[in-house]
Structures are given as structure tokens and as C-alpha cells.
Amino acid sequence: MKAYVVVQGSKGVDGLERVERDRPSPGPGQVLVRMRAASLNFRDLAIVNGKYFRGPVTQDTIPLSDGAGEVVAVGTAVKRFKVGDRVAGIFFEGWIDGAPTAASLATARGGNDGGMLSQIVVTDAEGLVAIPSHLTYEEAATLPCAGVTAWVGLFKRGHLEKGDFVLLEGTGGVSVFGLQLAAAAGAKPIITSSSDAKLARARELGAFGTVNYRSNPEWQNDVRALTGGAGVDQVLEVGGQDTLPRALQALAFGGHVAIIGGLSGFASDVPVGTLMGLNATASGIYVGSRADFEALNAFLAEHKIKPIVDKVFDLEDAPAAFAAMDSGDFFGKVVIRL
């Protein structure tokens, strides 16, 4: 089988090496999946660049946490899946339901031998979900991290309601998923970008309002104006230290901020006084469980939502996919076809 590894001690896309490995066999309780597509997240760039919070990889490791494919073999005692089933891997192979534990959070895929940038993956059958029938493999491959994160931030932790104003920062994977989910739920998504062309695409997907943060540096004022001055009820905070203060200025009384990412660096200081003054809540979101993924899939199937795949690369061009992700010149998700 063909795969890519991040070479120990390397930094950057040049450290990606294409390798040939023996095809594994599933053990008891395991499933062998012929991967058809994998998608990238900013976390993957951090791992390749040696800047993930756990530090550089300590051995040659297979990158990418997100992928979808077809079951081609099952081990003994497997009842969840059979050969031919279409599946996606959950982000944390060991987080099935309920609250996370230290052990379950240690099972994140990508940057280890459980990475998805491989034509064949062997995994515990419990670490997979069936993918909605209306989705292609490329579309389903975008769900495990960005899709689940947006779902948990808005619905599980934010308790999104119809009519809520939702602030989405930028047009990457989590934000575009948030836009689609919020619009389908009858909320009023407001999205920011530095590109008017991307904002036009966002309006086509159901954005209630759009703000160009490059031409409107005080974009939080424009966001609040779009709500009639009341402020937004929900924020998917992906920007980090540069965006959190402005997002809080746009937040409504009793609002909720899902703290997700740090594209500009993680915000080390959350202004507790501001949250208290607004009677607001903030949640730290690190993806979610298998049960959360299954809840997302049910919603996608009900509303026939199709993830936005902006760019697709072949396996041989995997380094170019990382470069495209690093450039920021995409809308939604970047996918590698395996």
C-alpha cells in the first residue's frame, strides 16, 4: 500500500515522504479500510511544521486525522461493520460517548500510525461511523474534525436555537460547516472574510450577513450592526488571540463562545470580567465523540447537507495539498483522493 509519512526531525512540507508499506491484517475487533479520501485541517499543518502543542513527531508518522473509505476486511468478533460498508474514522479512536478522559483524548488520529494519509488503514471497529448515503467519499472525509467541531460548538455546547445570530470567522472548514449547519437550523449566520468573492459564496450558502474584515478593521461593529445592535448569540472562535477580543465585543448578553482554534496564536487570557458582565459562557472545544459524529451525520442526512470541497488533489500530489492549505486560498475543505 502507498502512504505518506512525516519524517522524524523534519519541519515543513519537504518532510513529507511517500512510502510503500505492507498491507496490514485486521486483528480481533478490528476493521481494514481501503481509504478513498482524506482531508486536511490546520492541525495537520502544525504537525508537519513541528509546531503542534505536543512538539515535533518523535518517529516517522502518518499524518491526517480525517478520512473515509470502504471496509475491505473484518477481524473476529466485529459486528458493527461488514465488507463493503462505507465508513469514516472518528477523530479520537477511543472516545465513543460521554465526557472525554485522558485516555480517550490520547487516541487522536494523525501524527501517529493511525493517520489517514494511507491507502489502507487498520482500526478498531468502534472507531468508525457509517457515512450518510448522500455523500461522496471526498465529502465524507471532511467531517471527522471540522464538521464535528462545528456541530459540538453550536448544538451540544451552544444549544443553538432557531433565530440565533451566529458569528463565523473566516471561510475555512469549521466556519463553513458552521454556516451550513446554522442556516439549516433556521439561525442567522454572519461570516467574515478578507475576500469579497468568498463572502459572495457564503451568501449563496445562506449567510444572513457578511463582513470583510480587511476593508472593515473594526469588523465587530459591523457584525453587531447586522444584529440590530443586540449582538450575536453564538461564536465559533477559530481565530485566536487576534479575533477573540473583537468577537466578545460583538457578543450578546447571555451569548456563547466556542473557543476552537488559534490561527493567529492561541488566546492565553480569556477576559473573565467581560464574560461575567455579559452573563455569557465560553466552551473549550476539542472536536467530539463518536456519538457527536453520529448526531452530526443524522442532521446532515435529514437536511441533505453536502460539505464544501474546494480543492481535490491526487495522492501523488499530497504535498501540493498541504501547500494549498497553508496558502489560505480555499473555501471550505482541501481533500486528497487516495
3-class DSSP assignment, residue 15: helix
Domain ranges in the chain?
2-144+307-337, 158-284
Q: How far is CA 162 from the centre of its chain?
A: 23
Closest CA to 283 of 182, 149, 140: 149
Report the C-alpha gap between 326 and 261 in whole angstroms. 15
**Domain 158-284, what fold?**
Rossmann fold (3.40.50)
If you count them, how many residues does the chain have? 338
On whether the CB atoms of residues 122 and 248 are closer than 8 A, the answer is: no
Report the C-alpha gap between 15 and 63 in whole angstroms. 11
Report the C-alpha gap between 332 and 170 in whole angstroms. 10
**Which class does domain 2-144+307-337 fall in?**
alpha beta
Query: What is the model's pLDDT at position 11?
Result: 76
From residue 337, give the alpha-carbon distance in Å to each of 12, 99, 117, 151.
Answer: 21, 33, 9, 25
On whether the CB atoms of residues 63 and 44 are closer than 8 A, the answer is: yes
Closest CA to 236 of 294, 309, 172: 172
Residue-by-residue pLDDT tens, the chain, 338 positions: 999 998 887 778 888 999 999 999 999 999 999 999 999 999 999 888 887 766 677 788 899 999 999 999 999 999 999 999 999 999 999 999 999 999 999 999 987 667 999 999 999 999 999 999 999 999 999 999 999 999 999 999 999 999 999 999 999 999 999 999 999 999 999 999 999 999 999 999 999 999 999 999 999 999 999 999 999 999 999 987 789 999 999 999 999 999 997 654 565 577 889 999 999 999 999 999 999 999 999 999 999 999 999 999 999 999 999 999 999 999 999 999 99
* DSSP for residue 24: P
Q: What is the largest CA-CA distance in the chain?
A: 60
